[in-house]
Amino acid sequence: MSTRSGTGGRYGSMAAVPTVARWWGGRTAPQRIDLYTRWSFYGWLAMTPLLGLGVHGAAERPSGPAATAFLAGSLAVSVTGVWLAHTGLAAHREGRPLPRSPLAAATVAAVVTAGLAVLAYAPEGTDTPALAWGLAMPPAMALTAASTGWSSQRLTRWGFGIGGATGVVTAAVGAALPAASVLAVVTGAAVTFLALAFRFTVWVLDVVSEMERTRGVQVQLAVAEERLRFARDLHDVMGRNLSAIAVKSQLAAELVRRERPGADGELGEISRIAEESLREVRDVVRGYRTADLGGELAGARSVLRAAGVACTVTGEDAGSALPPPVQTALGWVVREAVTNVLRHSRATECTIELAVAGPTARLRVVNDGVEVADAGWGSGLTGLAERLSQRAGRLTAGREGDRFVLAADLPREGTA
């Protein structure tokens, strides 16, 4: 059961301030990956002005006005790159291509800034490395932002295209052809690797999101399977009886129409079948609403495995020897525990252990994938605890490390 701590004093009790760990722990895996991916892009693109300062610091005799404009262009590349990454991730999530306006803005900013690098660092006597970095860095950052929506093949073509353009320009301003060629290959490989690395984070986000959708479908299929089971049982009970009622009703109506004897007998038979059907339907509904321990353990194993959760059940033989009222009470515990595993966790494995020690039967349900650090008890667990207390039982539930443990202790001879 959850506990609350506070501080007393004249200001009264105050709830603990939520920590960053609790804020992070309250998010699903896709939400965490989305945050990581999004801020990886934003953080890297925000460093563009710092990289521009690094390029400027590496130059020996830069052209003053053009160098200042290059630094301003680096800031523009950063802003437009963040804009492109933001809108690109949103478009990718919805299955749309990269938005044209942010892509055009980032492209123009990158091309203009690269041109300013030529003006700033290509004058005679200026060293080539600063020019090469100044040429490659702005389009490389724009290409990184575009990796939110472009394919790996397209990123590779543009990455080596940037490297080739860098080699051509450096050769045009006086670099030796072999050195410019090596520079083109190295720059192209580095830019491509950078873009593909960020593209990989987007791919990981896609995989995790698809796994989350698949898990949701599995849970829905498990619920649908249970509904089909109930529908099948109801059909088996009612199909024959309703068919018999329909046939006998037609026969009774025909006898009445022809004024022949026997209609009252057929009507009595219809009444008997209807009462029998009502009793059988009640038995089906009663069986669905009551909890048989053996059936609930088998159903828990089936439903959890259908939802992609590895389930291990131990102690079924010990449970079969318990009195029926105790089995019913523990069956309710299994049903509520499995419901909570499916609804309130991202479990990949669940263990159900039933043990009888002396006068006490103990049932433990342990699962991983706990999402919330302290969610408290809902109405389901509260009602279950009240149900067990009527038989002198006790229910405990809470986190133990990275797992959630629900345990029920019940006397073998539970009181009514």
CATH topology of domain 218-289: 1.20.5
Query: What is d(CA 175, CA 287) in angstroms, rounded to the nearest whole number?
Result: 86
Q: What is the CATH number of domain 293-411?
A: 3.30.565.10
* Token output for 365: 């349900």
| Contact (Cβ atoms closer than 8 angstroms) between residue 362 and residue 315 | no
Which pLDDT belongs to residue 174?
79
Which pLDDT belongs to residue 14?
42
Going from N- to C-terminal start, the domains of the chain cover 27-214, 218-289, 293-411
Residue 350 CB partners (closer than 8 Å, separation 6+): 304, 309, 310, 311, 312, 338, 341, 365, 366, 367, 368
Q: CA-based angle 265:270:276, to the nearest 5?
A: 125
Residue 7's DSSP bridge partners are none
Complete DSSP assignment for 279-304: HHHHHHHHHHHS--HHHHHHHHHHHH
| Contact (Cβ atoms closer than 8 angstroms) between residue 73 and residue 112 | yes
Which pLDDT belongs to residue 8?
45
Query: What is d(CA 261, CA 194) in angstroms, rounded to the nearest whole number?
Result: 94
Residue ranges of alpha helices (H) inside 94-176 are 100-121, 128-146, 152-172
The residue type of 37 is: T
- CA 373, 378, 382, 384 dihedral sign is negative
Please classify residue 49 by burial: count the beta carbons closer than 10 Å to its beta carbon, then call 0-12 exposed, 13-18 middle and 19+ buried.
middle
For residue 47, CA distances in Å to 18, 50, 76, 141 come to 31, 5, 12, 10
Local structure of residue 16 (DSSP, 8 states): P
Instruction: Kindly list the averaged pLDDT for each block of 10 residues, start to end, along the chain of length 416.
Output: 42 49 68 86 94 83 80 94 94 89 95 90 63 91 94 94 91 83 92 94 86 74 71 67 76 79 78 80 65 79 79 86 87 85 84 90 90 64 84 89 90 63
Which pLDDT belongs to residue 198?
93
| Contact (Cβ atoms closer than 8 angstroms) between residue 338 and residue 304 | yes
220-247 in b/e burial notation, b at 16+ Cβ within 10 A? eebeeeeeeeeeeeeeebeeebeebbee
For residue 43, CA distances in Å to 36, 92, 264, 335, 345 come to 10, 19, 87, 47, 31
| Contact (Cβ atoms closer than 8 angstroms) between residue 69 and residue 26 | no
* DSSP reduced 3-state for 314: strand
Which pLDDT belongs to residue 121?
82
Query: What is d(CA 279, CA 19) in angstroms, rounded to the nearest whole number?
Result: 57
Quickly count: other Cβ atoms within 10 Å of residue 299's Cβ. Answer: 20
